[in-house]
Amino acid sequence: MDALPVVVIGAGAAGTMAAIFAASAGHPTLLLERTRDGGRKILISGGGRCNILPSQVEPGQYFTSSSRNTLKKMLLSWPLEDQRRFFEEEVGLRLELEEETGKLFPSTHKARDVRDGLLALAERRGVRIRFGTYVVGLRPGGAGEPWRVLLEGGSQIDAARVIVATGGLSVPATGSDGTGLRVVRQLGHTLHDTYAALTPLTSERSPHAPLAGISLEVKLEAPLGKGKLESEGGFLFTHRGYSGPTVLNVSHVAVQTADAPPRAPIHVQWTEIDAAGWERMLVEKSQGTVANVVRRHLPARLADALLAEAGVDDARTLPQLRREERQRLVETLARYPLPWTGHEGYKKAEVTGGGVPLGEVDPRTLESRLVPGLHLCGEILDCFGPIGGYNFFWAWATGRAAGLGAAGAA
């Protein structure tokens, strides 16, 4: 009698990786995917180029409501250099560093090459893949009985073990509709509240709609616990509000307070010059208009808008600038309160915050501590990182651990 397979649910980043390593460990492996092709988040990532990995990783860059010690163990289970070697030597993708961002991309700059390369490797390792297969439930095995994977339409598949890699709730058009979260909750897992993360922010009044399309490098600051969260890099004005890496990286702070005022304040430093630097510049320079000084450091339309918001006449010369005007302008340039009122939600969120607490899985095998034979990996777990390949790093690491764990115990 043939051995029952390890069944992996979800052919995204974590699930495909789990299937590769379960099969590589010598166990029959079946990968189930509800869409017709799988890996759709891979295809849309990095503007279609797929930022496979960051160039450096620190556990402190990740967010979780679970134990940070558990998070660290899970992240460090597959070091960055080993992951890079896997993609270059096993998948066959040469990686290139984008110096200005510290991101690693495939040299072809085609996300499809990443998705197709992983699926091809899975098949070479012996993984059977079934697309267009929608899992609606799971029935645990017991006393030597197999797991039952329940499919839409009433059929079922027997499995030795099951790996759930169905993602969270972000970008539902790719297939992430929360089914996995519902199924594991039915099996007894708890969930830390889920929320959209890495999503653009909106402004009800859209005071900056005329600036849509302007992008620049800024520094953002938002409150985080008893400390603060800082984000430096690209910022983009949109017709509905604000986007860009800096905004996405602090958006989860905003999202979690959007419906429970007071809303988290987010402050912008529009240039590399801090408040003290602007103060010196505006005091020490004795010639020219205030507008000309500000425009030298900012896009003209943004400079004019900020001058107007600070209540400073753009024709006023530096010697004419009154002390209270200078203070308002410095505050506007170096600690501007971003007038956000909402967010784009899961529709445009790159990841889901919250999910299954990390303490409910074994950090080495990712087997459920509550339901033996069930392994969880990827976005369904309570962890996410910033923009820049960090969430793929998490998916690859946890997918590998779950695949090896399931195959070793099956």
91: helix, coil or strand? helix
To the nearest 10°, report the CA torsion of 80, 86, 89, 93.
-80
Helix boundaries (H) for 242-352: 245-258, 275-284, 290-295, 300-309, 323-334
Q: Find residue 267's DSSP bridge partners.
A: 221, 337
Q: Enter the tokens of residue 180.
A: 């996995």
The span from the CA of 147 to the CA of 274, in Å, is 60
Helix then strand count (H, E) for the chain reads 12, 20
**Looking at residue 314, what is its pLDDT?**
84
Q: Who's near 136: CB < 8 A, 6+ residues apart?
A: 150, 151, 152, 179
Nearest to 42 by CA among 171, 155, 187, 208: 171
Q: Enter the tokens of residue 245.
A: 């890496």
**Looking at residue 207, what is its pLDDT?**
85
DSSP 342: E
**Looking at residue 1, what is its pLDDT?**
43
Q: Find residue 224's DSSP bridge partners.
A: 227
**Looking at residue 23, what is its pLDDT?**
98
Residue pair 205/339 in contact by the 8 Å Cβ criterion: yes
Q: Catalogue all structural domains in the chain, each as residue range(s) with its CATH number.
A: 6-195+354-409 (3.50.50.60), 200-266+338-343 (2.40.30), 275-337 (1.10.8.50)
Amino acid 239 reads H
Hey, how many other C-beta atoms are within 10 angstroms of the C-beta on 201? 24
pLDDT values of the chain reduced to their tens digit, one per residue, 410 residues: 479 999 999 999 999 999 999 999 999 999 999 999 999 999 999 999 999 999 999 999 999 999 999 999 999 999 999 999 999 999 999 999 999 999 999 999 999 999 999 999 999 999 999 999 999 999 998 778 999 999 999 999 999 999 999 999 998 888 778 999 999 999 999 999 999 999 999 999 878 999 999 999 999 999 998 999 999 999 999 999 999 999 999 999 999 999 877 899 999 999 999 999 999 999 887 788 999 999 999 999 999 999 999 999 988 899 899 999 999 999 999 999 999 999 999 999 999 999 999 999 999 999 999 999 999 999 999 999 999 999 999 999 999 999 999 998 65
**Looking at residue 141, what is its pLDDT?**
84
Strands (E), 35-134: 53-54, 95-98, 103-106, 128-130
Judge if pTM exceeds 0.75.
yes
Q: Enter the tokens of residue 183.
A: 């199924």
Report angle CA 101, 105, 111 to the nearest 5 degrees. Answer: 125
Give CA 311 to chain center in angstroms.
Answer: 38
